[in-house]
Amino acid sequence: MEITGIVLRLTPFREKDAMVNVISPERIYSFLSRGVLGIASKNLASVQPFTLSRLILVKGKEGLMLRSGEAIDSFEKAKVNLSCLGVLSFIGELTGKVLSNDESVSIYPYLHASLTLLNDGFHPLTIALFFFAAILKVSGYGLEVTKCVISGARADIGAISYLDGGFVAKACFDPLRHVRCDERKLKIIRQIFLAKPDDLSRVAFEAQECMEIIGELGIYLEDAAGIRLKSIDLLKRLR
């Protein structure tokens, strides 16, 4: 079986073997790579995290196994930049804790676009924010950003409710449940949840704006799904 995908994780297994997780446009694959941690391994480069690779897998007694691999793009520039490394850690934690196999088809284009833009030097925290929104959307935790979740009104939006799952019109504002937002913040939240993969490079936000919303989305995800993202603390130190 030949697959092309992006390596998410490389987990040592026994002395020189490793378990590898790869996301492709079709699904997430997990397979054993024998001897890949050895000095003479020809496949090591192809199974490094956040590498786009072409892989040949075979079925063995222990499940799928790697026969051979070829690295197509290592996104090396992103891996030597400290801010980008923080975002890669964030992306890795998000995909590992939130994404299910059925959702990989939807998130793969966002992941590939994010890695490409990070490698090209685009603003790392903007990419982190866009990817966070994309993960929430495909996993069923996306926010309603086209109308008020209370009244359905599409105009005069003035707040957001993480409890109710989206935008709130000024007339429906409840100080116990909703958070007032200025027009700029509402526009950013709308953009990130409506963005397609090709939209990720069209705008860069201020670092403070990104971290404020990432922090709020992190609390929202923890409250809604019980998932705490430790890498958000790393992003705060790197900005």
pLDDT of residue 234: 87
Q: How many residues does the chain have?
A: 239
Task: Give the whole-angstrom CA distance, residue 160 versus residue 178.
Answer: 6
The tens digit of pLDDT for each residue in 137-185 reads 999 999 999 999 999 999 999 999 999 999 999 999 999 999 999 999 9
Q: Please give the CATH number for the structural domain made up of 2-73.
A: 2.40.50.140
Percent share of the chain, pLDDT over 70: 100
pLDDT of residue 13: 85
Tokens of 149: 């979740």
The tens digit of pLDDT for each residue in 211-229 reads 999 999 999 999 999 999 9
Task: Find how far residue 144's CA is from the centre of its chain.
Answer: 19
pTM for the whole structure: 0.93
Average pLDDT value for residue range 64-80: 95
Q: How far is CA 188 from CA 138, 195, 213, 226, in A?
A: 19, 10, 9, 25
Q: How far is CA 184 from CA 47, 60, 168, 171, in A?
A: 41, 54, 15, 19
The tens digit of pLDDT for each residue in 206-215 reads 999 999 999 9
Q: How far is CA 162 from CA 14, 115, 131, 213, in A?
A: 44, 28, 18, 12
Task: Give the whole-angstrom CA distance, residue 18 versus residue 31.
Answer: 8
The partner residues of 20 in beta bridges, in order of sequence, read 10, 31
Task: Give the whole-angstrom CA distance, residue 178 versus residue 60.
Answer: 54
Residue 39 pLDDT level (bands cut at 50, 70, 90): confident
73 SS3 class: strand
| 130 has a pLDDT exceeding 90 | yes
